[in-house]
């Protein structure tokens, strides 16, 4: 891909390889836990100042991170200068670019010339013009002197815009990095600088000189191994290019996976507003069969509705009624989530919740969690009633709750276009009838539920009730909610299904 500037409307000069960006990125990685790419590419990516030409379509598109982090691509001086300034700003360190230059031989560049250490610093300096041409077209390097222990290097910059003092800092760091590469510490002094009014930049590089015999051996060793070194260097360069691409691919895929995870988390939160949370988890995990198939299970079933809901809300403005209902359902749903019930559906002002599917522990655990949930709901309603009364609602809403334990058919019901995970059967109907027979503010449970929780929940007999569809009266019990006879509900912050409730 060829890079272009929006202002010029033509391919920009191939001033510098993106390896310079990778050098700054690598240094940031040594200083920070993670690289803040938004800040690193601030003013570049997504701002329309720099465009790239897609080689397949020929269309201009804004430069992206993938392009900038590919060593084989080229950028303008202006873009590279922006990268340098962003790096300094991120680290709040004026010497950041100099330090990145000293660190450069830990990146791909260092590997490409690593074998030159066999010939010493002098040979590496002799190769600077050749190596520079691989990665930079914005300057010309001339070796004025290169004796044992001292080299004088001049840099002549092209008169193109965008070059600033940071480019000098990078060069000085790179030249000092030569000492790291060879194990022979070097010091660099900038005698002249174009950005201080001189015609060119001039660097004096000094390192510890070697004895004559060592220099002689260096020359022999280099001449003998020169062809091998060049071949190895070429191969290393190829391998290094592949490695860079692989590392970039892994990094991009990791970021893609994180984005996909964020999308899944967002989808889970969204679906949980409309589908039971346990069901959402199974669907996202690919466990579709357990929720699609129908089966007979013993469940503890719960129904609730608001007493005199229509007369109370008819006198309210639609906005007030909507706010009140949303607050009510939000509070109830929070409690359902704490006790891990399955919210099958919301019909008008009525809630249908069951325990025992799709996740199952044991009958006693299901019944205890359901009754404790109902108790917590009634307690929360008292708080809401006081709040609503203070807000001007004369007849605060009250709910009735009915609970039954029995066999039901559970699974997905509906059409291909729309279905819901629910339970059906006579025992479901009985729970609904118990809720209808319950007094406002109370909880009415069947004998089958009573048998599972009576040692933990304070209750009193309600007597026999006639239930439509049942041939004989049904024995029912009222859960005691008075201050003197409160049951011992589970602390919601410590609740663990099947663990907090003794068998």
pLDDT in tens, 324-381: 888 898 899 889 989 989 888 888 888 999 999 888 889 999 999 999 999 999 999 9
Among candidate residues 221, 479, 452, the one with its CA nearest the CA of residue 355: 452
Is the same domain home to 10 and 94? yes
Beta bridge partners of 446: 476
Greatest pairwise CA separation for the chain in angstroms: 114
Is the same domain home to 36 and 113? yes
Cβ contact 267:284 at 8 Å: yes
Is the same domain home to 355 and 219? no
Beta bridge partners of 153: 143, 203
15-19, 47-51, 99-103, 400-404: which has the highest mean pLDDT? 400-404
Is the same domain home to 301 and 173? no
Give the integer Cα–Cα distance in Å for 236 and 253.
Answer: 25
Is the same domain home to 325 and 473? yes
Which strand ranges, in their side-by-side order, compose the sheet holding 60-62?
2-5, 50-53, 60-62
DSSP three-state, residue 83: helix
Torsion of CA 423, 428, 431, 432, to 10 degrees: 90
Number of domains into which the chain is organized = 2
| DSSP type of residue 338 | H
Distinct helix (H) and strand (E) counts, the chain: 17, 17
Confidence grade of residue 397 (pLDDT, cut at 50, 70, 90): confident
* Domain contains 277: no
Q: Where do we find the tokens 């024995």?
A: 475
**Residue 241: what pLDDT?**
65
Q: Give 456 or 280, the one with higher predicted confidence.
A: 456
**Residue 244: what pLDDT?**
61
Is the same domain home to 320 and 171? no
Beta bridge partners of 31: none
Is the same domain home to 233 and 301? no
Is the same domain home to 233 and 353? no
Q: What are phi and psi of 250, to 5 degrees?
A: -60, -45
* Domain contains 191: no
Run of H or E residues at 212: helix 212-271
Is the same domain home to 344 and 221? no
* Domain contains 438: yes
DSSP three-state, residue 422: strand
* Domain contains 261: no
Confidence grade of residue 496 (pLDDT, cut at 50, 70, 90): very low
Range of the domain at 402: 294-494
Helix ranges (DSSP H) in 339-424: 363-390
Is the same domain home to 380 and 441? yes
* Domain contains 151: no
Give the integer Cα–Cα distance in Å for 43 and 34.
Answer: 20
Domain boundary among 225, 245, 265: 245
* Domain contains 149: no
Is the same domain home to 239 and 298? no
* Domain contains 83: yes
Cβ contact 397:311 at 8 Å: no
Interval 142-197: pLDDT, tens: 999 988 788 999 999 988 778 999 998 998 888 887 766 666 778 889 999 988 88
Distance between first and last Cα of the chain: 69
């Amino acid at each position: 891909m060829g890079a272009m500037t929006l202002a010029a409307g033509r391919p920009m000069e191939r001033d510098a390889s993106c390896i310079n960006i990778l050098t700054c990125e690598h240094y940031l990685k040594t200083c920070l836990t993670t690289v803040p790419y938004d800040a690193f590419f601030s003013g570049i990516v997504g701002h329309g100042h720099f465009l790239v030409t897609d080689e397949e379509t020929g269309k201009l598109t804004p430069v992206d991170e993938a392009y900038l982090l590919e060593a084989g691509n080229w950028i303008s001086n202006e873009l590279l200068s922006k990268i340098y300034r962003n790096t300094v700003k991120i680290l709040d360190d004026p010497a950041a670019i100099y330090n990145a230059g000293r660190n450069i031989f830990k990146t791909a560049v260092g590997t490409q010339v690593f074998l030159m250490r066999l010939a010493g610093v002098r040979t590496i300096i002799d190769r600077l013009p050749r190596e520079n041409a691989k990665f930079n077209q914005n300057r010309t390097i001339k070796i004025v002197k290169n004796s044992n222990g001292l080299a004088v290097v001049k840099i002549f910059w092209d008169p193109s815009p965008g070059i600033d003092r940071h480019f000098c800092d990078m060069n000085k760091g790179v030249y000092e990095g030569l000492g790291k590469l060879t194990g022979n510490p070097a010091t660099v002094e900038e005698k002249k600088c174009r950005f201080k009014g001189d015609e060119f930049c001039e660097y004096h590089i000094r390192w510890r000189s070697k004895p004559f015999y060592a220099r002689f051996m260096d020359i022999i060793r280099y001449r003998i191994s020169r062809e091998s070194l060049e071949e190895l260097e070429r191969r290393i360069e190829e391998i290094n290019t592949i490695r860079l691409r692989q590392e970039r691919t892994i990094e991009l895929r990791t970021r893609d996976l994180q984005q996909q995870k964020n999308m899944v988390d967002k989808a889970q939160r969204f679906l949980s507003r409309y589908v039971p949370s346990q069901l959402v988890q199974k669907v996202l995990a690919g466990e579709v069969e357990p929720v699609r198939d129908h089966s007979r299970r013993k469940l503890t079933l719960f129904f609730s509705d608001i007493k005199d809901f229509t007369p109370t809300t008819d006198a309210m403005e639609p906005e007030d009624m909507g706010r009140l209902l949303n607050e009510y359902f939000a509070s109830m749903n929070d409690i359902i989530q704490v006790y891990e019930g399955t919210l099958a559906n919301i019909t008008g002002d009525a809630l249908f919740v069951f325990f025992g599917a799709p996740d199952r522990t044991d009958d006693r655990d299901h019944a205890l969690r359901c009754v404790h949930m109902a108790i917590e709901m009634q307690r929360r309603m008292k708080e809401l009633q006081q709040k609503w009364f203070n807000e001007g609602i004369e007849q605060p809403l009250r709910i009735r709750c009915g609970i039954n334990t029995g066999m039901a058919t559970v699974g997905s019901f509906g059409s291909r276009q729309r279905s819901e995970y629910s339970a059906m059967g006579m025992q479901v109907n009985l729970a609904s009838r118990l809720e209808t027979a319950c007094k406002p503010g109370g909880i009415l449970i069947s004998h089958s539920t009573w048998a599972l929780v009576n040692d933990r929940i304070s209750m009193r007999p309600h007597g026999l009730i006639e239930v439509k569809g049942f041939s004989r009266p049904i024995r029912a019990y009222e859960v005691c909610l008075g201050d003197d006879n409160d049951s011992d509900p589970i602390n919601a912050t410590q609740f663990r299904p099947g663990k907090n409730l003794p068998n």
